[in-house]
Amino acid sequence: MRFFSDNAAPVCPPVLAALGEVNVLDTAYDGDRWSQRLDGRFSELFGTEVRALWVATGTAANSLALAALCPPHGGVVCHSEAHINVDECGAPEFYTHGAKLLAGNGAGAKLTPDAIRAVIDPIRRDVHQVQPHAISITQATEYGLVYSPAEVAAIGALAKERGLGLHMDGARFANAVAHLGCAPADMTWKAGVDALSFGFVKNGGMNAEALIFFKPELADATLYRRKRAGLLSSKGRYSAAQLLAMLEGDLWLANARAANAGAKLLAEAAGERLVHPVEANEVFLRVTAEEAAGLRALGFDFYDWGVGEARLVVSWNQAEEAIRPLVDAIRAL
Amino acid sequence: MRFFSDNAAPVCPPVLAALGEVNVLDTAYDGDRWSQRLDGRFSELFGTEVRALWVATGTAANSLALAALCPPHGGVVCHSEAHINVDECGAPEFYTHGAKLLAGNGAGAKLTPDAIRAVIDPIRRDVHQVQPHAISITQATEYGLVYSPAEVAAIGALAKERGLGLHMDGARFANAVAHLGCAPADMTWKAGVDALSFGFVKNGGMNAEALIFFKPELADATLYRRKRAGLLSSKGRYSAAQLLAMLEGDLWLANARAANAGAKLLAEAAGERLVHPVEANEVFLRVTAEEAAGLRALGFDFYDWGVGEARLVVSWNQAEEAIRPLVDAIRAL
Amino acid sequence: MRFFSDNAAPVCPPVLAALGEVNVLDTAYDGDRWSQRLDGRFSELFGTEVRALWVATGTAANSLALAALCPPHGGVVCHSEAHINVDECGAPEFYTHGAKLLAGNGAGAKLTPDAIRAVIDPIRRDVHQVQPHAISITQATEYGLVYSPAEVAAIGALAKERGLGLHMDGARFANAVAHLGCAPADMTWKAGVDALSFGFVKNGGMNAEALIFFKPELADATLYRRKRAGLLSSKGRYSAAQLLAMLEGDLWLANARAANAGAKLLAEAAGERLVHPVEANEVFLRVTAEEAAGLRALGFDFYDWGVGEARLVVSWNQAEEAIRPLVDAIRAL
Amino acid sequence: MRFFSDNAAPVCPPVLAALGEVNVLDTAYDGDRWSQRLDGRFSELFGTEVRALWVATGTAANSLALAALCPPHGGVVCHSEAHINVDECGAPEFYTHGAKLLAGNGAGAKLTPDAIRAVIDPIRRDVHQVQPHAISITQATEYGLVYSPAEVAAIGALAKERGLGLHMDGARFANAVAHLGCAPADMTWKAGVDALSFGFVKNGGMNAEALIFFKPELADATLYRRKRAGLLSSKGRYSAAQLLAMLEGDLWLANARAANAGAKLLAEAAGERLVHPVEANEVFLRVTAEEAAGLRALGFDFYDWGVGEARLVVSWNQAEEAIRPLVDAIRAL
């Protein structure tokens, strides 16, 4: 039983079915009727006018967002453990043509206004130093922590005060919304977010993520960048259909709630072993090498996280009965 | 009835079915069992050891290939009407970090050794001028012409003599193979091609193309570039499955033959109106504005191509009965 | 006697002397009192508020100007024989992060509104094609032709109409001004030019050119780009001093007039052999291989220009008596 | 009296004189007889075959070196306080097309093999993470510390073991050699250094630094990159002459010794106030805000360094009598 990544999970049946439904002749690229519905559908979801673009991966969504917010000679403040900083092989640098990621710190990969100020305040305002142009935060964070709307808004206020753009890497945005029970608007544009990488693939999609611009004018040049990056699928309707299927009947929220619930079960079993509070679908727990080996011997797969920690990720399709054996195994450690 | 692009056609049923077949939990990215089979499967097809990577679009495949063959300060010889030069929004420049496309000429977007020499021979061998590092040809060309193996080999010989890499943009590679009836090897590595963008999407695929390296060592850095470009899908098995389904039972060839056959029917009807010989699935014919309007009034869709020409593209799924009305309409002009 | 390049000429004595005059302790980079005078001094010269930056080379000035006018995904219209297109090793592509040079044509490397429209009008306004963002013209052109103020203004009007920036590569700007006898303003900002590479090195300087922005706000990001490109000399006063010395007493104009006068002498001698009218300090003449060899045997150095042509360039320091022998030799051909 | 930067110092008289000596007509760019002597002259100095290129600034030298050692998708290990990381406005990222600086730590901006391993050992060998390709160290460091030949060699051995290139930012290389009394070879190629930015401007030059390749083949592509970056001066002889003048009679060493000696005087006066041992021409001392203000009131200029520290830099031309007043003032604090 695999708990090492929500990327390993299969695709959700309605998403797969949607591919069949759009399997008819239509206009190429993003001119088809499904791609054309995205702006409207996501504007509805967010309660404001947005531009919504499908892209193939979260890395592409993040990088396009940063390229829209930061010039080549600028910098983007992010957490030192942010996915964009350590797990995207320099994609932000590629898309921004060499902008610099300015790394800050904070427990659980979470930034705060103070942590951001600690990065940007020492930067001299002269041409010798890379000037900050944007901030990027991950919601939920790489350690499964969730920013409250107020926490995002505090960062948003700082961004506004300093004239910085604000990007949210929402690879697990759905899990964060499910955890908070808030409206998607509350922790995005209402809190100062300019661009959101809205993840669907980890949550049951196949190969389409949504890049959302709350400042619609940012989308214009991004359309060129998307093409220039070789990301403009010629049969875009199969990407749009995935996103629409995930939004239909709030499937995205249902899937995220299921994954979060599974993680909660593991968290309860883990008790004192938890490294971070469990607020999304990731569980980090302290285990000795022997304990980790023991769990693996029972058939559980997961990542070691540094020394003495294990990362367990619950996917949208892992129902309580699928998780119960691991719950028991953790309890029995 | 649409004849304006093979990108508008639906996905071939076996490709769609394959997505369902791989819809199980497996390793993320390209670690799954299907992605892992690509090198072997394509090596078999080409009769030599190759490295095969799935990528989302032909533009991405082309650009990654060029980045593997040309440094940022170098140049790539291509036809002035090559897709990489006029229809990819500068993607080759993006991926190569600013390498220069050095445009040559030739009827029907076809290059010859002479045309290439006319581009590179005047370049002084000094640091003031961008030096050529690679050649890129399109097979079949943007006007539906097919290079014979001997024609490719002549270009390959020139490339070798001058120390240049050779890339083939095979967005319609299948149509070219179907036309020639040769082995895929004959017009690729045996003729000096180093990297091939092997197109599947126009030929019935959904969103996976294959990037083939006949010099396997070129793939190593490309794996990093693919990730860095945000092109490494986290659920790669849905891309690999498309390619494997297309190779199964030579579906790719069957689809291409069907499309070519349809184009031949149109070509016969067009007679003297043909601008170029029809060797793949594209037909360019001379029509007055009135004639074009007349065809459209009958329900036929297609692109105007400059003034006085129309481009008709036949897709894998347009069988004789689907084409017959257009054949009759052209005859009746 | 060398006539192959004005780059080969020595530095003008007042420029050399100026280096000694600033050889005192002062603030580093461009904070010194001489660098700080540039904006004012060039604003005076142009009769409008400009920002003036020293840079080490004309290639750097051109590339920084283009980076200020064109985003990475855009294009710059220039002549196919423009220095930026064929003699800068891809520097514009480097500085713009891969923008595309869109080449037009015209006799003597001169562009016209019609020639520019022939490049940009066929470009579809969709994301598949690189959109033009700027135009670059060379004054005097690579063949020594000079745009009249009216000719520049016609291009400037087109640029404005289409929302394009306008750059002037003025490697031999001084020679053009000397030829026209107009005010520098007449053929720059009054004619719609946004940025000018104002050349001094060919005209008697050592290693400082001026980059002039007629839209002052374009300078802000350029200051970062200049540093980021490693072009911000730590002892900038030695660059500023060169420019100030050249402006002092209109030395730049005197030098250019001298060079132009020398070229006129050669032109008169050349008569029917002239390939282009001689309007600056370059002379292209038709010679057979034997004639060229003959001139070389007499001790004259110059470049062959393609087949059957020779390029002669007169430098600021080649007075009439230095040129007379070549005049006689040409007459004697 | 200014002690804030060796960039503020004037140019050394023999360097200025050399400009006059080469002020004759010669070949353009780096084809002149002085530029052509650089390889030989520096090969002599280093006791091995090297390639030596003039460039305008240390930032340009560093960035070209890194571009020669690291591909766009790679990373360069450097100290978090390295000049390339914090004071070059992203120039390394520009020249390498977005390679990532991987920051390590160590007192006085000095790296050790252990500090480097702490950066690179946690990097997973997969495509998701930027892989290290090179190491860059600064000699003397940004805090005036000098690596011994053995210390460099230890880093060189690690570089070799891991297949990484090794770059030395020698903005104050001369001061380090003067301090160590070793041969230049001992702490460069004999210790595993592949490329050296050999600084002359801070040490009495005007606007020419030397970029030295101990692996001569690295120079080939660099010649194109130098041109492409707009760094190839058209009158290169004025750059070459500066370097040759500095090497003549070991002027570079004499200047560095003078500056080091001045710093030693300050260091002795500073005693317990010293933040770092003084091994080159920089002195960091602990001062209260009042003490700093007091020194300034006496006419001494310097940088505050964070809170409670002052940075004093002694230039090549500040002889003992110029420094004595500051020595006395520090003693009197």
CA D273 to chain centre: 26
Distance CA A180, CA A260 (A): 11
Q: Residue A32 pLDDT > 80, yes or no?
A: yes
Is residue B177 within 8 Å of B147, Cβ to Cβ? no
Is B73–D128 a contact, with Cβ atoms under 8 angstroms apart? no
Look up residue D253 and give its two tokens.
């060493």
Q: Residue B168: helix, strand or coil by DSSP?
A: strand
Counting as low any pLDDT under 50, the low residues of chain D are none
Chains that touch A (3 or more CB pairs under 8 A): B, C, D
List b or e across A85-97, with b for residues whose CB sees 16 or more CB atoms inside 10 angstroms.
Answer: bbbbbbbbbbbbb
For residues D8 and D1, what is the distance between their CA atoms, to the nearest angstrom?
11
Contacts B127 to D, Cβ<8 Å: 223-224, 226-227, 232
Q: Residue D22: its pLDDT value, please? A: 97
Alpha-carbon distance of A108 to D300, in angstroms, equals 47
Instruction: With CB atoms and an 8 Å threshold, state whether D127 touches B71.
Output: no
CA atoms of B195 and A333, how far apart (whole Å):
53
Task: Answer whether residue C1 shows pLDDT above 80.
Answer: no
Angstroms from D85 CA to nearest CA on chain A: 9
Report the alpha-carbon distance of residue C160 to residue C310 in Å, rounded: 38
B257: region left, alpha or beta (phi > 0 left; psi from -120 to 50 alpha): alpha
Domains of chain B as residue ranges with CATH: 13-249 (3.40.640.10), 251-331 (3.90.1150.10)
Q: Is C138 a residue whose pLDDT tops 90?
A: yes
Handedness of CA D75, D78, D81, D84 (dihedral sign): negative
The answer to whether B127 contacts D227, with C-beta atoms less than 8 Å apart, is yes
Q: Are the beta carbons of A19 and B16 separated by less than 8 Å? A: yes
**The token pair that represents B248 in the structure block:** 């199964």
* Cut 0.95: pTM above it: yes
Query: Measured at the alpha carbon of residue D180, what is the angle toward residues D177 and D181, in degrees to the nearest 5?
Result: 80
Q: Which residues of C touch A (CB under 8 A)?
A: 71-73, 97, 127-128, 131, 221, 223-228, 232
* Cα(C128)–Cα(C143) distance, integer angstroms: 35
CA distance B192 to chain D (A): 25
- Nearest CB to A127 within list D89, D93, D101: D89
When CB atoms are compared, the residue of A72, A128, A131 closest to C97 is A72
- Confidence check: pLDDT of C23 > 90: yes
Instruction: Give pLDDT, residue A2.
Output: 82
State mean pLDDT over A176-187: 98
Q: Do B25 and A7 touch (CB under 8 A)?
A: no
H/E element, B110: none
Q: Do B229 and A60 touch (CB under 8 A)?
A: yes
Tell me the C-alpha to C-alpha distance, in Å, between residue C308 and each of B117, C275, C314: 21, 10, 20
* pLDDT for res A217: 96
Average pLDDT, chain A: 96
Check D238 against C56: CB less than 8 A apart.
Answer: no
Q: Nearest CA of chain B to the CA of C99: how many Å?
A: 7
CA distances from C316 to B251, C258, C313, C319, D272 (A): 71, 6, 10, 8, 60
pLDDT > 90: percent of chain B: 95
Is the pLDDT score of C5 beyond 90? no
CB contact under 8 A, D57 and C230: yes
The proportion of chain C whose per-residue pLDDT surpasses 70, expressed as a percent, equals 100
> How many angstroms from the chain centroid is the CA of residue D244?
18
Residue D155's closest CA among D113, D185, D190, D193?
D113
User: Nearest CA of chain C to the CA of A131: how many Å?
Assistant: 9
- Hey, is D301 helix, strand or coil? strand
CA pair distance D236, D56, nearest whole angstrom: 10
Rounded-to-integer distance, Cα C295 and Cα D221, Å: 36
The C-alpha atoms of residue B235 and residue B232 are separated, in whole angstroms, by: 9
pLDDT in tens, A250-286: 999 999 999 999 999 999 999 999 999 999 999 999 9
Rounded distance between C-alpha atoms, residue D301 and residue D292, angstroms: 10
* DSSP codes joined into one string, D43-106: HHHHTS--EEEEES-HHHHHHHHHHHH--TTEEEEEETT-HHHHSSTTHHHHHTTS-EEEEE--
The residues with which C313 forms a beta bridge, in sequence order, are C282
Specify whether the backbone of D300 is left (phi greater than 0), alpha (psi in -120 to 50) or beta: beta
CA D170 to chain centre: 3
φ/ψ of A169, rounded to 5, equals -85, 100
Question: Positive or negative CA dihedral for D109, D115, D117, D118?
Answer: negative
Instruction: Give C320: exposed, middle or buried? Use CB within 10 Å, 0-12, 13-18, 19+.
Output: exposed
CA D50/CA B169 separation, integer angstroms: 42
**Main-chain phi, psi angles of C206, to 5 degrees:** -105, -70
The CA distance from A167 to B175, in Å, is 44
Phi, psi at B55, each rounded to 5°: -140, 160
Q: Which residues of A touch C (CB under 8 A)?
A: 71-73, 97, 127-128, 131, 221, 223-228, 232
What was the pLDDT predicted at C312? 94
Chain D residues in contact with A127 (beta carbon < 8 A): 89
Angle between helices C58-69 and C218-228 (to 10 degrees): 130
Nearest to B87 among C94, C96, C129 (CB): C129
Q: With both helix axes pointing from N to C terminus, report the angle between A38-46 and A237-247 in degrees, rounded to the nearest 10.
A: 30
**Cβ contacts of C66 on chain B, cutoff 8 Å:** none
| Cβ proximity of C176 and C186 under 8 Å | no
Q: What is the mean pLDDT of residues C72-85?
A: 98
> From the CA of C56, how many Å to the nearest CA of chain D?
7
- Residues for chain D: how many in total? 333
What is the residue-averaged pLDDT of chain B? 96
Strand-pairing partners, residue B212, are B52, B196
Mean pLDDT (whole number) for B6-27: 94
The first and second tokens of residue B266, run together, are 């149109």
Asked if pLDDT for residue C333 goes beyond 80, the answer is yes
For residue C150, with 0-12 CB atoms within 10 Å meaning exposed, 13-18 middle and 19 or more buried, which class applies? exposed
Is B53:B222 a contact under the CB 8 Å cutoff? yes
Q: Are A285 and A295 in contact (CB under 8 A)?
A: no
Digit-coded pLDDT (tens) for C184-205: 999 999 999 999 999 999 999 9
Of A7, A11, A28, the CB nearest to B8: A28
DSSP result, C162-196: HT-EEEEEETTHHHHHHHHT--GGGGTGGGT--EE
| B230 has pLDDT over 90 | yes
- Determine the residue type at C243: L
Closest to B93 (Cβ–Cβ): which among C86, C89, C100?
C100
User: Testing the interface with B: which of A16, A22, A207 to mutate, by most B Cβ within 10 A?
Assistant: A207
Beta bridge partners of A136: A167
Instruction: Read off the pLDDT of each residue in A53-80 and give the average, rounded to a whole number.
Output: 98
pLDDT interval class at C67 (50, 70, 90): very high
Cβ-based contacts of C128 with chain B (< 8 Å): 87-89
A79, A106 contact by CB (below 8 A): yes
Instruction: Write out pLDDT tens, residues D105-127.
Output: 999 999 999 999 999 999 999 99
pLDDT, tens only, B289-328: 999 999 999 999 999 988 899 999 999 999 888 899 999 9
Measuring CA to CA, which residue among B100, D95, A224, B229 is closest to residue C70?
Answer: A224
- Of B72, B127, B223, which has the smallest distance from its Cβ to D127's Cβ? B223
DSSP tag of D130: P
* E strands, chain D, in order: 51-55, 74-79, 100-104, 131-138, 165-170, 195-198, 209-213, 282-286, 303-304, 309-313
Radius of gyration of chain C (CA): 20
Provide the greatest CA pair distance for chain C.
59
Neighbours of D106 (CB within 10 A): 18
DSSP-assigned letter for residue A294:
H
Pairwise CB contact (< 8 Å): D230 & C28: no
Q: By percentage, how much of chain C surpasses pLDDT 90?
A: 95
Take residue B274 and report the two structure tokens written for it: 């043909």
